[in-house]
Structure formats: structure tokens, C-alpha cells
Amino acid sequence: RPKRTEIVSLYVAPPENGTILALDELGPVIPRCFLPTAGWSADGHRIKAPLEYSRGMEKVWVYGALRVRDGHEVTLTARSRNTVGYVRLLDAVEQANPCGHLYLISDNLSSHKSPPVQEWLGVHPRVHHVFIPTGACWLNLQEGWWRLFRHEAFAGQTFADGEEIDNITCLATHMLNHRAKPWIWGRPP
């Protein structure tokens, strides 16, 4: 499988003067509002409040780029998953990595191949896109970082609106970057 081999080769032996980044989107993250916990009744029994499963109309997508060599992450939030958000991520990735060639490993989505993205790549020749084959999301190391992020940012939280999700995304990314370590492909020897 040449495409999978190419991606694993980038992780294992990155090109000299090259930076490998894994890009992906998480979401939609939806604000959830839960009723306050019930108190106790006069006779000492716990009051059982009905669960509320309604969700607001507001959705937030989290765009992320994991720099494999040191484990640092760039995240952005957007209200939709589209080409505009992806180009914003590409701009942020380029600013965070000003030197050398960038190899971006990402999913094979239409928003990643759209004309505005192709124009952006034409203006930035040091950025190279490598697409993961369909059905091989396990090749994207960003998926593993999302697991850490969800645990850090979302576990046991209730969000009232998208702005709270924006704030917790920045905070969790900062905390995870503070203790970041290189991501190594495969098992340790």
C-alpha cells in the first residue's frame, strides 16, 4: 500500500529540514445545558429530576494541527466545518512553523482539496499536503491527541455556549502544550 507507506515513512524518517504535522477537525462540539442537581425531599429521599437531552443550535468545530517532533499543537475553533476554517488553520500552522518544509498529513475531505486551499498551497510552495487514504484514520496521529484533548477540556464539563468552548479549547491546548512530548510512530523498542 504505497500511500500508507508514504505516511508512515514521513513519521519514522522525516525529510531533512522538514516538519511533519497531522491535521484534523473535531466536532461538532455542542454546548449542553443540564438542570442543576436535585436536592433532597422533606422525607429524605433524593429528588429525581428528568434528564434534559436538548442541545442548542450552536455548534463548534475544533481544528487542530499536531507537530509530531515535539508534540506541540495549534488549535482554532470555528462555527462550521468548511474551507474557510481549514485555510485559517493552514495560516496558523505556517505562522507557528516559519522555517523549512511542512508536510501536512490530513483526511481526504473536499474542504481540504477545494480551490481556495489549492490557491493557498500555490502561494506557499514549502507546504506539502499528504492525504490519508479513505478508511485509514489510524494513520493520523492527531486522532490520538484528540483523545487527550477531550479528557483535558471536556470531561465532566457543561458549556452554556460556543464562547465557553472557545475558551476551554485555548486553555486545554495551552496546558497540553506545556507538558508536550514527541509523538513516536510505533511501539518503543
Q: What is the pLDDT of residue 141?
A: 94
Whole-angstrom distance, CA of residue 1 vs CA of residue 140: 16
Q: What is the pLDDT of residue 91?
A: 97
Q: What is the pLDDT of residue 18?
A: 95
Whole-angstrom distance, CA of residue 75 vs CA of residue 43: 50
Residues of the chain predicted below pLDDT 70: 32-42, 44-57, 188-189
Q: Of 156, 171, 162, nearest to 34 (Cα)?
A: 156
Q: Which residue has the cell 497540553?
A: 176
Q: What is the pLDDT of residue 36?
A: 44
Q: What is the pLDDT of residue 134?
A: 86
Whole-angstrom distance, CA of residue 133 vs CA of residue 108: 7
pTM score above 0.95 = no
Q: What is the pLDDT of residue 136?
A: 87
HEC per residue, 103-156: EEEECCCHHHCCHHHHHHHHHCCCEEEEECCCCCHHHCCHHHHHHHHHHHHCCC
Q: What is the pLDDT of residue 35?
A: 44
Q: What is the pLDDT of residue 135?
A: 85
Q: Report the side by side order of strands in the sheet with 127-131.
A: 73-78, 60-67, 18-29, 101-106, 127-131
